[in-house]
Amino acid sequence: MASEHAEHVLTPTSYISHHLSFMAHPVGDTPFMSVNVDSVVMSVLLGIIGCGFMWLAGRGATASVPGKRQALVELALEFVNDQVKSIFHGNISFVAPLALTVFVWVLLMNSMDFLPVDLSAWVYKNVFGLENWRQVPTADINTTFALSLSVWLLMIFYSVKAKGLGGWIHELTCSPFGSNPVLWIPNFLFNLVEYISKPLSHSLRLYGNMYAGEIIFLLLGLWAATGPSGTFFGAILSGGWAVFHILIVALQAYIFMMLTIVYMAMAHESH
């Protein structure tokens, strides 16, 4: 990195900011009109890998003794199916595939955090010629918000579908405190807070965990650059953090899926 930018001395600040810059490609004049190419490409690749793998397993699915690939996918399917069935009461033919997609996709995107930050940055730069390539799409707030807002839209859609537009408006204004006209405004404000906080907490929880995980790897990488003892202990701690991160990656994917199911279930239930 330093050799190409001879004027840049490799300082901690430049190291961190280099690792945390997206490959933003402007498509318009305003700051909003740009696309983080790295996030989109990585997430789409992972989505294609995940869905494609499951599709391959499903295409050759047999009701008799399943192969190893089918068994693996069925494991995920059964796991998601059980969770959905226990939370969501009603027709699960859409919610279950939604939850499966969310789980597999988020798990794969989170798993990109397992790749060593500096090694993969070197590969992106020297093999693919890509500077500033962020490999963890879920450490991009755009991705997590895209997911949570999509779920949010689905939630509103299914809420209206299940209760009708009038029922939904009735729920917004008359619950949780009661249907007295005096309480319409407090009810609505309460529901507004709920509707705003749902996608916020949904996406920020995932984003925060993945972002923090990445930062810790970067800080340990910084420490490793300070000298032999730093390299030694930094490597050990990086290994430890990587092991712990396996849990976080899986757990955050699970939580994201569970919240998706819960929100959809709440949308279906009427008060």
Binding site for another protein (CB under 8 A): 20, 24, 27-28, 31-36, 39-40, 43-44, 47, 50-51, 54-55, 57-59, 61-64, 66, 70, 73-74, 77-78, 81, 93-94, 96-98, 100-102, 105, 137, 140-143, 145-147, 149-150
Q: Residue holding tokens 């696309």?
A: 35
Q: Which is nearer to another protein, 55 or 122 (CB)?
A: 55
Least distance (Å) from another protein to the CB of residue 230? 28
Least distance (Å) from another protein to the CB of residue 4? 24
Least distance (Å) from another protein to the CB of residue 35? 5
Phi, psi of 34 (to 5 degrees): -145, 155
CA distance 55 to 57: 5
CA distance 97 to 101: 6
72 neighbors 56 (Cβ within 8 angstroms)? no
Q: Which H or E run includes 95?
A: helix 95-111
Q: Residue holding tokens 């202990």?
A: 233
Q: Which is nearer to another protein, 47 or 167 (CB)?
A: 47
Q: Which are the contacts of 39, defined by CB distance < 8 A and separation ≥ 6?
A: 22, 134, 137, 140, 142, 143
Cβ atoms within 10 Å of 140's Cβ, excluding its own: 22
Give the DSSP letter of residue 139: G
Q: Which is nearer to another protein, 81 or 191 (CB)?
A: 81
Q: Which is nearer to another protein, 57 or 261 (CB)?
A: 57
Active site residues: 201, 205, 209
Phi, psi of 238 (to 5 degrees): -60, -40
Q: Which is nearer to another protein, 99 or 220 (CB)?
A: 99
Least distance (Å) from another protein to the CB of residue 259? 15
